[in-house]
Amino acid sequence: MAIRKIVYEGDELLRKKSKPVKDFDDDLDELLDDMRETMHANDGMGLAAVQVGVLRRVVIVEANGMFVELINPEIVKVEGEDIDTEGCLSVPGFNDKVKRPYRVTVKAFDRYGYPFEITGEKYFARCVCHEVDHLDGVLYIDKSENKSKYKRKGK
């Protein structure tokens, strides 16, 4: 396992759409293991593959005492509303409030290629939405309450 370099806001890569995973192979295992190590090293609650420079639809989420790996995730149901503070490892030094669903059901594949579905609330739901947005080139600062206050470091 290895800690990979985080891609920061301002890098065009973060605005690209990630491609579906087709091969559930050793490279995917390695990517997932590295993503987990990288997330832990940075005290994150979630990470999308694009944040370590890989444009594939792979995310990990660790919230509410659950750790999940979601390959080709698809949010199939959202319920309720929740407003809370969010941050992103790719947007250092900024936090802001974002409105998200309170409960989310997501369909995905595990690292072995088996389909599954999981439902989670509050932070888990928030993290899933945030990470799935990354796969479509969307950052939370695009939709947060005080987005006009965001200034990229060195900008």
List residues with catalytic annotation: 131
- How many angstroms separate the CA atoms of 130 and 3, rounded? 21
Indicate the residue among 88 and 108 with the shorter CB distance to Ni ion: 88
- How many angstroms separate the CA atoms of 137 and 125, rounded? 19
Closest contact distance (angstroms) between CB of 96 and Ni ion is: 12
- How many angstroms separate the CA atoms of 50 and 62, rounded? 17
- How many angstroms separate the CA atoms of 149 and 144, rounded? 10
Give me the 49-88 binding string for Ni ion, x by CB under 5 A, dash otherwise.
Answer: ---------------------------------------x
Antiparallel, parallel or unpaired: β 58-63 and 82-86: unpaired
Q: Is 14 in the site for Ni ion (CB under 5 A)?
A: no
Closest contact distance (angstroms) between CB of 87 and Ni ion is: 8
- How many angstroms separate the CA atoms of 75 and 7, rounded? 24
Indicate the residue among 12 and 26 with the shorter CB distance to Ni ion: 12
Type of residue at 14: L
Closest contact distance (angstroms) between CB of 130 and Ni ion is: 5
Indicate the residue among 21 and 50 with the shorter CB distance to Ni ion: 50
**Nearest residue to the partner Ni ion, using Cβ:** 88
Q: How many chain residues bind Ni ion (CB under 5 A)?
A: 1
Q: Which two tokens stand for residue 115?
A: 């389909």
What is the binding site for Ni ion (CB under 5 A)?
Answer: 88
